[in-house]
Structures are given as C-alpha cells and as structure tokens.
Amino acid sequence: MSKNSQDFQIERDVKYGATANNNEDDLEEEEAEVEVVNGDRKILMYKVIAVVSTCITVILLATVIVLGIFYQRAPVCDQGLPFIPNNLEKPEIFDELTVAELETVRDYLISRKDLNLVSFDEATINSSYIYMIDLLLPLKAAVLKNLDRGGRQPVRTAKVVVFRGDLRPPRVEEYHVGPIPRPTYARLVTNPSYTRSRLPFSARPVSVIEYKALYVHLEQASEDLYFLLRDSYNLAFHNCTRGVDCIIFKDTAPRGLKSGDRKTWFWAFRDIEGSALHPLGLEIQINHESMDTSKWHISRILYNGYLFYSVEELMTQYMDNRITKIAIDPVGFKEHLYSSYVKRGKTNAVPSQGPKLVEPNGRRYMVVGNHIKYIDWDFHVHMRSSTGLQIFDVRFQEERIGYEISLQDAVVMYSGFGPSQSSTVHYDTSMLMGRLTFEMVPGVDCPDTAVFLDAHHFVDTSTPRKFKNAICIFENNGGIPLRRHYESDRRGGFKSYGGLVDYHLVVRTIVSIWSYDFIFDYIFHLNGAIEIKVSQTGYIQSTYALPYESTFGYRIHEFVIGTLHQHLFHFKVDLDINGPRNRYATLDTSVITKPSQWYRDVNHTYIGFEKVDRKREQDVIFETGDASKQRFDIIYNNYATSKFGANRAYRIFNLAMSDLLLEDADVANAARWAKYPLAVTQFKDTEEMSTSIYAQNDPWQPVVDFDRFLFNNESIVDEDLVAWVTMGRIHIPHTEDVPSNTITGNQYSFFLLPFNYFTECPSIGSPNAVRIQPALPPDGNKVDTFGTSFESTCVQESVGPFEYNGRWDHVVSDED
C-alpha cells in the first residue's frame, strides 16, 4: 500500500472508528478513488504549467522581435560632421565680442573718471551711462591681409554708444575702445558718413531708463481715467488681473513731427494673447523733451476719434455725456480668443506628424564657432546688435565671392486714421534688431536637424545678455529638383534622364519686433547661387474701428481695422569677383524690329540685349516700373574670363522690387535708400551701414542720409564695389491675417547668381545626382547614383518644442 493510501486509511479509521478486521474490498475501492483524484490534480497542474510556459515564451519572443526591429531597423542617425563651440580664448576676426570682452570694455569705461559714467542700474536720464557695446570690425584691407596673405589678425576693438545726459546740452557720443582684451584708450569718434558732427540727444533710442519714467506718467493718467476705462471697456491699467481685465500701452514712433521733438504716442490694447488685435480707441501722447521728468506731461489724448489736450478735458466731457462713448465689454466678449493661437475652426486634419527632415549620414556641414563649411561653401556668421545677422568672407570652391552680405534696415510705413497711425513709420534698426532675435523652437522655427547658435548682446543693460538659439543652421531638401531633364526617344521610350535634388544650406534668424516676426534666411545652393529671403509673419498693426476708416483698411473683426502699410527691407552686398577690383554693367533688353535677312518684304521682331557699363554711381539709378526696360545687373571682373572668353560675373536678381510710395513725405527721409531697388557705390569702410540707430527718432534730418552715398558720384570702374538692394511690398490686411500673417505670399527674395563665373554649372560635380539610361530587355535600366545610397536606415532624433525657455538671461564671464 502506498504512503498516500496508508495516510488515507489512518484518517478513515480515526473518523469512523474502523478496526483492523475491516473488509479488504472496501479498502481497495477507496484506494482506487484516491489515485484517480491525485491523477486529476497532476493533469491540471501540468496544464497550468504548460499555459504559463506558453505565455512566457510568447512574451519573450515578442520582446525579441521588438528589440530586433528597433536595433536592426531604427537606429538614431549619426550626428555627422562636428559642431565645435567658439574658442573664447582666441576669438576670430568676425566673432562677436565675448562676455568677458564686453565686461572688460564696460569696466574700463566706468573707470575713466573723465567720462563721469555711472552704472546702468544707478542711471537716470540725467546721467552718463553706456547704452550699447558692440564689435567694431577692422578695416577691410587689414582683414583681407590676414585672411589672404597670412598677416597678423587685427586687434579687436569695441564700438560703444554712450548717452551723456549729464552734459548741457545733453548728447549721444560714440567711442572706439581697445585694444581688447586689455583696453588702454577710449577715442571719441564721429563717423564721416554722418550728416552731423554731434549726435542730437533727441535722436537717441528710448532706453529702459526712459521707459520707466514714461510709465510713471501713464500710471498716473490711468488712475485719473479709471472710471472711463471701467465704464467703456471694463478694463484698467492698474487694479486689474493680468491676462483677464488689464490694459497695456504700446508706444509708436517717430516721436513727433520734426527734428528735435520727443513726443510719444502710447495706444491702449487689451492685455491678452495677440494684444495687437485688441485696440481700444484710446491713445495718449506724452511730451518728454525736458531733462526734468517732473516737466513731462500729457499733451494730447485721443478717445473714440475725439481729440483732447488733457486728461481733465476728456473726463469733463465724458462725465457730462458730451461725447459718444465706447461701450464694449471685452472680458465678457465670447470671441475674445480670435487673436489667440488656440486651435479652433473646421478641418479634416487629425493629430498626426507631418514629414520631417532626416540626415541619413548625419550633418554634411561643419560648424566651428561662427565659421561654417558646407560642401563647397565656406563663410562666417556674425550677429550685430543693431541690424542682426551678417555673413562674411563667403567662398565657393575656395574662391571668395563676397566679403559681406547683411541686412541694413527693415522699415514699415503705415497709413491710418488718428494722429499716431497717420504718421507711424517703424525703423527697426533703431530698435536694435539683433537683440530682438529671441530663442527659436526646434521642430517648428527650424528643423530638428538644425544646429543652434546663441548670441550675446550688451544693449540697454548693466551686464551682457545671452539669447539662446538665436541662429539656426540646417541643410534642407527643397522638395524639387535643382535641375533635371527627361529626353524622350519619341517611340514610347526614353533616351536618358538626369536630375539632382535642390539640397541647400539655410542660415536663419527670426526678429520679433513690435507685433511682427521677420524670418531672415541666407540660403546657399549647390550651383553656387545665394538666395536671401525674408518671410513675414506675426500680427498686423490694427486700430479701433470707426465708420470713416475704410480708406485705410478692412474690418478684420468686430471693433478692429487692419491698417494699410508698406514693408521695405534693405541689404548690403559687398561682392568681390576674383578680387575687389570689379565693374558694374547692365544687360539692357529691348524689342527690335528690322527687315528679315531670310525673307523678302518681311520684318523680323525679336528681343535683344546690349551690355552697358555703368561708369559712375549715379549711372545706376533707374525706375522700377518700366517693364519694357528689363535688364540683368551684373558685377564682373574685367580681367578674369571664363574658358569661353566671357567676363566672370555674378548677377543680382531682385524678385521683390517696390517703389517708395511715401518718397515725398519728410518722415521717409531716413529711408532714402528705398528709392533705389539697386544702387552700386564705391566701397568705404566708413559707409558701414545705410542707416543708423538714430533714424527712428529723427527721420526728418537723418544722421545717415543714403543719398550722400551717391551724390559724390564716384567712379565704379575697377573699384571695390558695394551693391545695395531694396525689397518691398504693400500689405492691405484682410480677415485671413487673423490671428496672424502666414508666410504664404508674404515672402521677399533676391538672388546672387553665378553668371559666366564657372565653365559649367558646378552642381554637376555633386555625388547626389541621378542618371538613368535605358537598357535592352530583359535587362533593367542602368541607374547611376554616383556612389550615393538612396536607403535611409536610421531615424532622426526628435527634439521638439518641449524644452523651450523663451527668455534671455543675464550672463557673466567665468572670470567673475
């Protein structure tokens, strides 16, 4: 008997009191039953073990498959060529001033007792203090000697703008400070291109120090207007909840009507996302010409189209019901989010990712500090505080094409109802565009593949500021062939196909200024062409809707009119074709009719062109609207020819020419460059900019008058030449500009195109080309990709917008 049977017997005897003489047959039957039960338990246990083992096997197998797919099919793409940060100990010629260099210049100037400077944090408008420190570029000849002939790198020098509020009369002064990093001099200078030897204090940009004093007066006025603000709008400037029921005031410029004025209009908007689309019909002008802030006063107020000369006058007439009152409640207005980026409206789109850039072999461009190399391209980038991004020493296949390509100014001229709208002209360089290049968002503003560079500025501050991700660099696939051709055999087949994708490198920065965002792209193509493109987005400027404002724009919402305006952009293009001694010529087209040499009594009409060398600066001037005189503009070297005898040249091709519509308005005097879609002048180191930071607050008698660049009418034959290019367009806002402009149809471009510069298109050397030749059956076509694979075996690392900061930071050097 088994042990289990014995145990069972003992249990049975105890339970039933059985004795040893029990019937043997009964015991055998019971033992058989026990064995059956135990067998069933074993079978059940085996089944459970089998099921669990199967599940574990399936899970392990699935894990192995998933891991295999991940590691075999989706590795992260390599980074490719390196990105090496700036060497702060040995900055190159075009590198911005380092944080340590900015601090050194600041400390040296403050230590100079003769300047009577105080720190920015302690300054008032009656103090002398540093407003801006920026790099002063060396003379071009010295730079070329260093770059081309191995000469010593020129010493680094700073250009410093100082507000001398302690002098009588007060004035603005500019200093050259050097040598850096151990300065020993601060020379007071006046640029020979300036129209005045002394810079007027009234032309200076408005500093944070002055804004603080201005807002004290606005706060006082808003307290006196509190009843009106609550009664008309259910809003207030104080005693309110930000983002719910607050007002903000935004200033506009110029600040007056003539040179010497300093009277600023502030308009009221609701403090909410997209505030530029929430004007309230209230504008306040403050006269702040005096050096005594206690004498600053409100000189005009505009409310609902009524003009008053004091707060008391407005409130008296308002309380006496002698004017038509505004009665809106934006807090309770259900559609107040029309200006926001909150998703709304009809769409068939579902949440899904769109196409993204992938670099299967990693970056094909190298970034070493501010020095960029991309296939055959080689250049430096620099961020100037006033005008923004500059491109220097541009080379293709080791030959310099240009010394400098840079933005000079972006101007917006408005027309609208009211004293402020009717005279608003924004000169954006005066607002320091470089220090308004805020952080860009990976995956939106620039692709995830982009390399980002930070910028540092010392403007309107006590310490340097760091602007994260102010510049991005990325290679782009244009989604279109750079060149291609299909040749038919005219029998249903083909003779050949050849093509090349339009790969190009983009250097981008975005300037956010007032309500607009301007995207500036410098694009380098494989065929040796450079494209300079401006894309316009952001919010339009708007006014409170009055019945008689239709001349100036359409209603874009219940109480809002979009204001008619013209955009203008000016660029400096210093080309050096086979060296700096160049000429400028136009290829003038015309329609010619003459007797045919092939047929009797038949006239032949055709298009021809004539090369016209322009000898002097004023020979360049031409009208934009004469379509019958289309021409090619070329900068060429008379002593360098192609294999076939043509002069090596680059063409300037402007796709966004626009007349200066307000040419006769004195407020446009500081934008006289806009009269010329193209101007060509003899290079001068002193003519570094076509405008100045003083244009905004004294456009009537500008410190830099571009006409003076041309009026000396110097020779432009075999000289170092500079081309000045203007782009522009009229914008009549419409409802589709809400919430903000889209770049579609709002882009401006000009090109620098090789013109007989190469023997053939240099992109023919690209290994990214494809050539297909037919083969006889049964063989397939012969496809030649010149060693380049079309397979992509990696996924691009995604950065996305989730680590965006959006703030600039005060920074100090490690030495501190």
Active site residues: 428, 516
Distance CA 476, CA 356 (A): 10
Residue 60, burial from CB neighbour count under 10 angstroms (0-12, 13-18, 19+)? exposed
Helix (H, G, I), strand (E, B) or coil at 315: helix
Alpha-carbon Rg for the chain, nearest whole angstrom, is 37
A 10 A CB-CB count for 418 gives 22
The tokens 């023997």 sit on which residue? 759
Distance CA 698, CA 204 (A): 8
60's CB contacts (< 8 A; 6+ apart) are: none
Taking phi over 0 as left and psi of -120 to 50 as alpha, with beta for the rest, 617 belongs to: alpha
3-state secondary structure 491-532: CCCEEEEEEEEEEEEEEEEEEEECCEEEEEEEEEECCCCEEE
Peptide bond into 179 cis (omega under 30): yes
Distance CA 378, CA 381 (A): 10
Distance CA 725, CA 470 (A): 25
B/e letters for 347-363, b = 16+ CB within 10 Å, e = fewer, are: eeeeeeeeeeeebbeeb
Distance CA 208, CA 432 (A): 13
Four-CA torsion 556, 558, 563, 564, nearest 10 degrees: 50
Distance CA 654, CA 748 (A): 9
Peptide bond into 355 cis (omega under 30): no
One DSSP character per residue, 648-710 reads EEEEEEES-----TTTTSGGGGGGGGGG-SEEEEE--TT---SS-TTTTT--SS-SS-THHHH
Distance CA 394, CA 530 (A): 10
For residue 11, what is the enclosing H or E element?
A: helix 3-16
Which residues face 546 on adjacent strands?
A: none
A 10 A CB-CB count for 557 gives 17
